[in-house]
Amino acid sequence: MTKIDAVFLWLDERLGIKTIAEVAQKKEVPLHRHSVWYYFGGMTLFLFSVQVATGILLLLYYRPSADTAFESVQFIITEVQFGWLIRSVHSWSANLLILTLFIHMFSVYFLSAYRSPREITWVSGALLLFICIGFGFSGYLLPWNKLAFFATKVGTEIAGVVPLVGRPMLRFLRGGDEVTGATLTRFFGFHVAVLPAIATVLIGVHVLLVQMHGMSVPPSI
């Protein structure tokens, strides 16, 4: 027995990693004319991890308050080395993520992959769609420029016209009656703490269920 085997055995006795290794070793992959549509879930997950990495990097320099947010973004793209790259990757990857997410959702829908026993996978995915839109909406305000300000003003106004709950919801989102610095810190909190926490749990459930059930085979195959 080599040293590596001994270490593996020691860890396996304590963590049961052999089971995980076995699951990872044997994977049924879809091999039929619809295979290409199965790529998009993984692409969305990849783009999500890009968002996490570049988002953490941007946090090193971003300052979430009304009088510093705009300047700190300008600082990132003009002064920080490769700041323009990190910020652009975050912004582009966000857009592409929404695109791949929608392609993933429609392919699951049209290939009827939501069928029993995968309903909860579908529902957790649908929730993740809303979370990602929330990421996009809250992140859009953070550069704190004119476009961001008015987009948020209009966006929260739309929430405000919902009957009964609209007005309280608008005040909750804006942190007051108007879009101000209070809205900015609030959206920043959603964007970097609340939504990531929920998304992590949902992605965990979603991916675990995919591993449990394996790939769905479309009824037409």
Decide if 94 contacts 191 (C-beta within 8 A): no
CB of 79 vs other proteins, minimal distance in Å: 5
User: Which amino acid is it at 53?
Assistant: A
Q: Which is nearer to other proteins, 25 or 116 (CB)?
A: 25
User: Does residue number 80 form part of the binding site for other proteins (CB under 8 A)?
Assistant: yes
User: Does residue number 5 form part of the binding site for other proteins (CB under 8 A)?
Assistant: no
User: Does residue number 57 form part of the binding site for other proteins (CB under 8 A)?
Assistant: yes
Cβ-based burial of 100 (10 A; exposed 0-12, middle 13-18, buried ≥19):
buried
Cβ-based burial of 53 (10 A; exposed 0-12, middle 13-18, buried ≥19):
middle
With CB under 8 A as the contact rule, the residue among 79, 146, 163, 177 that binds other proteins is 79
Total residues at interface with other proteins (CB under 8 A): 10
With CB under 8 A as the contact rule, the residue among 9, 20, 23, 60 that binds other proteins is 60
CB of 78 vs other proteins, minimal distance in Å: 9
Give the count of beta carbons closer than 10 Å to the beta carbon of residue 61.
15
191 DSSP 8-state letter: I
Distance CA 110, CA 76 (A): 42
User: Does residue number 86 form part of the binding site for other proteins (CB under 8 A)?
Assistant: yes
With CB under 8 A as the contact rule, the residue among 15, 23, 85, 221 that binds other proteins is 85
User: Does residue number 221 form part of the binding site for other proteins (CB under 8 A)?
Assistant: no
SS3 per-residue string spanning 105-129: HHHHHHCCCCCCCCHHHHHHHHHHH
Residues that bind other proteins (CB under 8 A): 53, 57, 60, 79-83, 85-86
